[in-house]
Amino acid sequence: MIEVGSKVQKYKVGDRVGVGCMVNSCRSCNSCDEDLENYCPKSIPTYGAKDIDGSITQGGYSDLVVVDEHFVISIPDNLPLEAAGPLLCAGITVYSPLIFFGIDKPGLHVGVVGLGGLGHMAVKFAKAFGAKVTVISTSPNKKKEAIERLGADSFLVSRNQDELEVLSLSLSEPFYNYFMKVVWCKICFVYY
């Protein structure tokens, strides 16, 4: 934090902070009242949006950014900034729906479809919540990373008909509680 406005109460110059996908919202609509500012019709995204002063937000491509303190996030001293960045983007993209839909409880079985940036975070969070996690990918080359590096419990190749049949059988036995499809920044939950 290099400068704070006169009305800022939560932060001071020198604080380690980050910004997620929004810099402001109306703070008075139903969505804002329910802490769902991402649905606010007047929300101002971090990238490519018209800000209050008329400038276009530049997000991570800017040298500095002006943000309403409500959208600033403290970063602990023991968390390297390069590790915090992904949490503020892909991390919150998957964390928020996991919490919102109650998929933050141990004992659930979560299928993560797609192992890109969002998929990595989905696996990490689901495992941290105590879920059994199966990664489903078109690429068999991602199996080692999914299992050994991220801690997934199992891995299926969606192009392998035999593996899909095993998945199909498990769906008929309510084996999976949720699937997270994390492709192209869309997250879809399918409940079973």
Residue 143 lies in a domain: yes
Q: Answer yes or no: are the C-beta atoms of 103 and 119 closer than 8 Å.
A: no
Domain identity same for 100 and 178: yes
Query: Which residue type sits at 55?
Result: S
Q: Is the pLDDT of residue 179 over 60?
A: no
Q: Identify the CATH number of the domain in which residue 136 sits.
A: 3.40.50.720
Domain membership of residue 88 (yes or no) is no
Residue 12 lies in a domain: no
Q: Are residues 65 and 30 in the same domain?
A: yes
Determine, yes or no, domain membership for 21. yes
Which residues span the domain enclosing 117? Answer: 96-191
DSSP state, residue 89: I
Q: Is residue 159 part of a domain?
A: yes
Per residue in 131-145, pLDDT (tens digit) is 989 898 999 999 999
What is d(CA 53, CA 8) in angstroms, rounded to the nearest whole number? 18
Instruction: Please give the model's pTM, rounded to 2 decimal places.
Output: 0.76
C-alpha–C-alpha distance, residues 123 and 120, integer Å: 5
Please give the Cα distance from 71 to 21 (Å, whole number). 9
The pair of three-digit structure tokens given for residue 101, joined into one six-digit string: 């839909």
Mean pLDDT for the chain overall: 85
Number of domains in the chain: 2
- Pair (185, 134) in one structural domain: yes
Asked if residue 40 belongs to a domain, the reply is yes
In a domain, 142, yes or no: yes
